[in-house]
Amino acid sequence: MSNFWSLSYQLAKAEFKLRNEGSYLGILWYLLNPLLTFLLLLLIFEDRLGKGIPKYPLYLLLGIIMFNFFQQATQESVRVIWRNSVIKSLNFPKETLVMSNVLKIIFSHAFELLLFIFVLIIYGNFNSGILIYLIILFFLFIFVYGFSLMLASLSVYFVDLNNIWTFVSRLVWLGTPIFYAVEGQTRLGILNLFNPMYYFITVSRDIIIYSRIPEMWVVLGMMIYSFLFLIAGMFIFNKLKYKFAELI
Amino acid sequence: MERIILDNVSKKFWIGVKKNQNSLQQIISLISGREPKKNFFALKEVSFSVHEKEIVGIIGKNGSGKSTLMRIISKIYKKDSGKIFSQGKILPMIGLYLALNPRLTMKDNIFLTGLLVGMSQNEIKMKYKSIVEYAGLGNFENTKIYQFSEGMKQRLAFSIAIHTDSDIYLLDEVFEVGDEDFKKKSAETLRRKAEKGASIIFVTHDLEMIKKYCNKIIWLEKGKIKKIGGKEVVEEYKKQNG
């Protein structure tokens, strides 16, 4: 087990290094994407969709960086088995490839989180709620890892999944209340009950931005979805992994 | 003591074939991106065993199933039928140098590959110096691998592999690149490993190496064992393949 973690960690570190190789701005690039998305959406929606939402800039930015973690990790996981031909040379726990990918995105998520904390301080909204985010992040991590296991293994069999997921994840982005609120919209509200990201983002906003206790069913939903996806992901990956080396 | 036993092991692949298709079939395969495929036996009813302290050489033309056999033994591929028994830690070296990351330094690669072959972080730290020295790459610790020659990569991969404490070593064409000196040195290392109890199987086109180091020689042809025995197998193989 300790080998599983050290291998995942080292793989993640190597990938992280490679991503920044020869780049002058390095990690600043990670912040540029969420920052620009944030500023643009703020500019467009603050007076419209964001009108009835208290502390809209914080509401928006937290939604963006949390979804960003999910989207980046899952989109890269679709290709993760394909990119690692070492599977054909050695017999090692292939789950580490998926885990290292999620860990790598956690590294960059940490930088986005720093950006968010900075904005929290600017708005005078910084409080201890941010510590609870670590617990939420644990569940989000489990969920994203489970989901990535599914995508990574299925994409070896269905190559089209790569294109499909790029498209679908964009739809989910639009369907998740990131730059708008879902309250009062019956149909979208019901749809979001099936969207795990809705739970994670809602719980985080309640605690960090509004300093209130989230509703119990949302917290439970968050936990159930994370374990459900973890178990399903491990099951599917386990079933399919024996053929990876033959198919890539 | 027997380390590996293969009993009637077969492996088949679905491979793409070009067939005479009518236009409807052609459109369907164009849209679905799927080619017509057929079963192809890469290995057919292969049986043999390997003892401890034994060095086994596998010869055969390209496409005869040598690498597939190595991957089956190391459990990288799953067999379709038959039985395999193996005892002890297996270290496969099947194109291992291709698994090195070209954009990382040699130092990073040693740590990464070391973990991949099952060493612990501490073990790698302890053996790091010896790995670098054995490969003869002392001046290149912080050089990125893409600047290495094929021979240097092969030496590095080999050095990492033999620093693991394994019971079974599977080496696929590791002597094809690299200079004579290193070839000799690595073959001697393997011989010493075998003397201490390890089992070694290697695939090579270098028939002299096979004759010099192997106790048992297996000749594969079209996925089947054509002949199994001592040095006489090499002579016969030479005769048939000019």
Give the pLDDT confidence of B206-240 residue by residue, as tens digits. 888 888 899 899 999 998 999 998 888 888 888 88
For an interface test with A, which of B108, B109, B116 has the most A Cβ atoms less than 10 Å from its Cβ?
B116
Write out pLDDT tens, residues B177-211: 668 888 888 889 999 999 999 999 989 888 888 88
CB B85, CB B108: distance < 8 Å? no
The span from the CA of A154 to the CA of A148, in Å, is 10
CA distance to partner chain B, nearest, from residue A5 (Å): 10
Is A17 close to B104, i.e. CB distance below 8 A?
A: yes
Residue type, A180: Y
Closest CA to A7 of A74, A91, A111, A110: A91
Contact A87 B98 (CB under 8 A): no
B33-81 pLDDT per residue, tens:
666 677 888 889 999 999 999 999 999 988 889 999 999 999 999 999 9
B20 has a pLDDT exceeding 80: no
- The closest CB to that of A7, out of B75, B99, B115, belongs to B115
Residue B22: the pLDDT is 67
Per the structure block, which two tokens stand in for B81? 């039928």
Residue B192 amino acid letter:
R
Interface contact A83, partner B, CB < 8 A = no
| Max CA distance (Å), chain A | 57
Contacts of A243 in chain B (CB under 8 A): 78
For B99, nearest residue in chain A (alpha carbons): A86
DSSP, res A48: T
Round to whole Å and give the CA distance between A149 and A13. Answer: 20
Q: Which residues of A touch B94 (CB under 8 A)?
A: 88-90
Judged against a pLDDT cut of 90, whether residue B241 lies above it is answered with: no
- Give the number of residues written for chain B: 242
How far, in Å, are A9, A56, A109, B129 from residue A196 at the CA level? 26, 22, 18, 49
Mutate to test the interface with A, among B73, B115, B123 (most CBs of A within 10 A): B115
- Residue B147's Cβ-side half-sphere holds a number of Cα atoms within 13 Å equal to 10
Is the pLDDT reported for residue B147 higher than 70? Answer: yes
pLDDT for residue B129 is more than 90: yes
C-beta separation of B215 from B54 below 8 A:
yes
Contact A18 B101 (CB under 8 A): yes
Nearest residue, CB atoms, B77 vs list A3, A18, A245: A245
pLDDT value, residue B198: 93
In chain A (248 residues long), the average pLDDT of successive 10-residue segments reads: 84 85 73 91 89 92 96 94 88 94 93 93 89 95 97 91 94 94 86 95 95 94 97 96 88
Say what percent of chain B tops pLDDT 90. 51
Q: Does any CB of chain B come closer than 8 Å to the CB of residue A238?
A: no
ipTM above 0.85, yes or no: no
Q: Single out the residue of B59, B67, B60 nearest to residue B13, CA to CA.
A: B67
Sequence-distant (6+) residues with CB within 8 A of B46 are B6, B8, B9, B10, B65, B69, B82, B220, B223, B224, B225
> Cβ contacts (< 8 Å) between B96 and chain A: which residues?
89-90
Between β-strands B216-221 and B90-94, what pairing exists: parallel, antiparallel or unpaired? unpaired
CB contacts < 8 A (A, B): 63
Contacts of A245 in chain B (CB under 8 A): 71, 76-77
Question: A 28-57 residues with CB below 8 A of B?
Answer: none
* B170 neighbourhood in chain A, CB within 8 Å: none
pTM of the model as a whole:
0.89
Mean pLDDT over residues B89-106, rounded?
88
Residue B92: partners with Cβ closer than 8 Å, 6 or more residues away: A89, A90, A91, B70, B71, B73, B74, B76, B170, B172
Chain B residue closest to A21 (CA)?
B103
Contact B201, B56 (CB under 8 A): yes
Residue B17 has pLDDT above 70, yes or no: no
The partner residue sitting opposite B77, judged by closest CB among A10, A21, A246, is A246
Average pLDDT, chain B: 87
Confidence of residue B29 (pLDDT cuts 50, 70, 90): low
